[in-house]
Structure 1
């Protein structure tokens, strides 16, 4: 099994999620991000999730 999952290549995102990353972990990251950045709460949910995920799990 591949140790890192690559997502979003076809749409220009380079995301590598470590094995075992769950939606709960990403949800907690999103909550923390929103607490630190309340001014972005009006943004689209999918944009916020992609911002959080690419900051934390961008491939090198």
Structure 2
């Protein structure tokens, strides 16, 4: 009996975690789409782009 209850608790926890992660991914996707839409409508290029190098420049 205990094993089944532990199984159900673990299962329910995993389902909750998956739902939380799914909502987070959907929120990120929505923000990205909104940024893309805003950038597409903008006529002026942005002065600060996020396409900078990951590595520091040599001196």
Q: TM-score range by the shorter chain?
A: 0.3 to 0.5
Higher relative contact order (CA 8 A, sep 6+): 1
Higher relative strand content: 1
Greater gyration radius: 2
State the TM-score, normalizing by the size of structure 2: 0.33
Higher relative helix content: 2
